[in-house]
Amino acid sequence: MTFSYNHLFAFTENVFRSMGCPEADATLATESLLAADLRGVDSHGVARLIGYVRLWEAGRINPTPRVGVTYETPSTAVVDGDGGLGLVVAPKAMEVAIEKARVAGTGWVSVRNSNHFGIAGYHAMKALAHDMIGLAMTNASPLVAPTHSLDRLLGTNPIAVAIPAAEQPDFVADFATTTAANGKLEILQRKNQPAPTGWIQDKEGNVSTNPNELKDGGALQPLGGETGSHKGYCLGSVVDIFSAVLSGANYGPWVPPFVAFLQPPADPVGQGIGHFFGAMRVDAFRPADEFKAHMDNWISTFRNARAVPGQQVLIPGDPERESSAKRLLDGIPLLDPVVKDLETVGQKFGLTL
């Protein structure tokens, strides 16, 4: 079934209002969440709305958080999310990073006491309108085994970097630091199809192609495959440390699970989950026009590279931008189980999808 963006927006906004979010926060959360559906990252959009509602029901989301800066220097800040939706906390923290960058050239914000924030790319892209480079990362529920580990100690810990161009569309990289995001695995689970090797390991650390392996003690593997997973492990670790050890959030195996039926660890090492945001004013390095003209040249050089027959060289952000344009026009297709979940959510609050 396909729904218009505006239809899903109104429904989702009403759900967040029904949870007790103030009007402005409900709008902010809806924009953050639906950015995933527009950009084709189906796993992180309204498909997760029921998950947020269940966390709220379990008392693990504060619908009226006082999000605030608890410590700062000219180019840094720590933001406490007061247990709010990451979808609300993240845009506010990114705004702090952008304000810092306006004055100091760059701004870097580490966030504690937050929850899942949707897609990293959406937050990084907030910098673009200000001729800034945006960065966003977050830690997440431990599903990933470091190289040689049997224990799951890291989340899929995504990194997003958004870089402005002039005539060319902006460069927007947004990727999990695992070979495959958990959302891609969920799709294979639904379709009951095997996963490519390099995505998952079983509980003994052996290569597995069973998409349900995580339910049996298996783990996602860090980006890099058989001879390079230590590099994905490094990246995921840096995201964890910047997001949580800098801010005072939970890290590693202490990150609270997204699913409400699993309890957070009883011995937390911090508060909630952590994010990290950065904004760098392009003209803190060279005139913005000059930078963006060279970005245009960079992008067109890469886009016009000779490609493997039948393929083309894409610029990070191309597929998501195309998806956005298409879905704003044609609507957002939702799988039946997602529609059913949304209807369940609607019933809780007396809302019709």
- In the complex, what is the shortest distance from the CB of residue 284 to a second copy, in angstroms, rounded to a whole number? 4
Binding mask 325-344 for a second copy (x = CB under 8 A): --------------------
- In the complex, what is the shortest distance from the CB of residue 265 to a second copy, in angstroms, rounded to a whole number? 12
Q: Is 153 a residue that touches a second copy (CB under 8 A)? A: yes
Q: Is 269 a residue that touches a second copy (CB under 8 A)? A: yes
* φ, ψ of residue 149 in degrees (nearest 5): -90, 150
Q: Is 248 a residue that touches a second copy (CB under 8 A)? A: yes
Give the DSSP H/E element, type plus range, for residue 83.
none
Q: Of the two residues 104 and 339, which places its CB atom closer to a second copy in the complex?
A: 104
Q: Of the two residues 30 and 76, which places its CB atom closer to a second copy in the complex?
A: 76
Which residues in 82-101 contact a second copy (CB under 8 A)? none
Binding part of the chain for a second copy, among 45-53, 58-66, 124-132, 198-206 by CB under 8 A, reads: 198-206
CA distance 199 to 147: 13
| Cβ neighbours for 146, distance < 8 A, ≥ 6 positions apart | 153, 154, 222, 233, 236, 237
Number of residues that bind a second copy (CB under 8 A): 83
- Of 240, 332, 345, 353, which one interacts with a second copy (CB under 8 A)? 240
Q: Of the two residues 167 and 290, which places its CB atom closer to a second copy in the complex?
A: 290
- In the complex, what is the shortest distance from the CB of residue 181 to a second copy, in angstroms, rounded to a whole number? 10
DSSP-derived letter for residue 158 is -
- Of 316, 327, 332, 345, which one interacts with a second copy (CB under 8 A)? 316
Give the DSSP H/E element, type plus range, for residue 76.
strand 76-80
Q: Is 161 a residue that touches a second copy (CB under 8 A)? A: yes
Q: Is 267 a residue that touches a second copy (CB under 8 A)? A: no
Which residues in 46-75 contact a second copy (CB under 8 A)? 71, 73-75
CA distance 261 to 273: 17
Cβ 305 vs Cβ 167: under 8 Å? no
Which residues in 271-290 contact a second copy (CB under 8 A)? 280-282, 284-286, 290
- Of 23, 151, 289, 343, which one interacts with a second copy (CB under 8 A)? 151
Among residues 182, 221, 215, the alpha carbon closest in space to that of 199 is found at: 221
Binding mask 121-140 for a second copy (x = CB under 8 A): ------------x-------
Q: Of the two residues 65 and 316, which places its CB atom closer to a second copy in the complex?
A: 316
| Cβ neighbours for 251, distance < 8 A, ≥ 6 positions apart | 139, 240, 241, 243, 244, 245, 269, 270, 274
Cβ 45 vs Cβ 11: under 8 Å? no
Specify the residue for token string 């997760």.
Answer: 48
Q: Of the two residues 73 and 352, which places its CB atom closer to a second copy in the complex?
A: 73
| Cβ neighbours for 13, distance < 8 A, ≥ 6 positions apart | 26, 27, 30
Binding part of the chain for a second copy, among 10-18, 54-62, 236-244, 327-335 by CB under 8 A, reads: 236-244
SS3 235: helix
Give the DSSP H/E element, type plus range, for residue 113.
strand 106-114
Q: Of the two residues 14 and 149, which places its CB atom closer to a second copy in the complex?
A: 149
- Of 233, 258, 272, 338, which one interacts with a second copy (CB under 8 A)? 233
CA distance 61 to 247: 19
* φ, ψ of residue 259 in degrees (nearest 5): -80, 135
Q: For residue 38, what are the CA distances in angstroms to 41, 212, 320, 322, 346?
A: 8, 28, 8, 9, 21
Binding part of the chain for a second copy, among 8-16, 43-51, 123-131, 243-251 by CB under 8 A, reads: 243-251
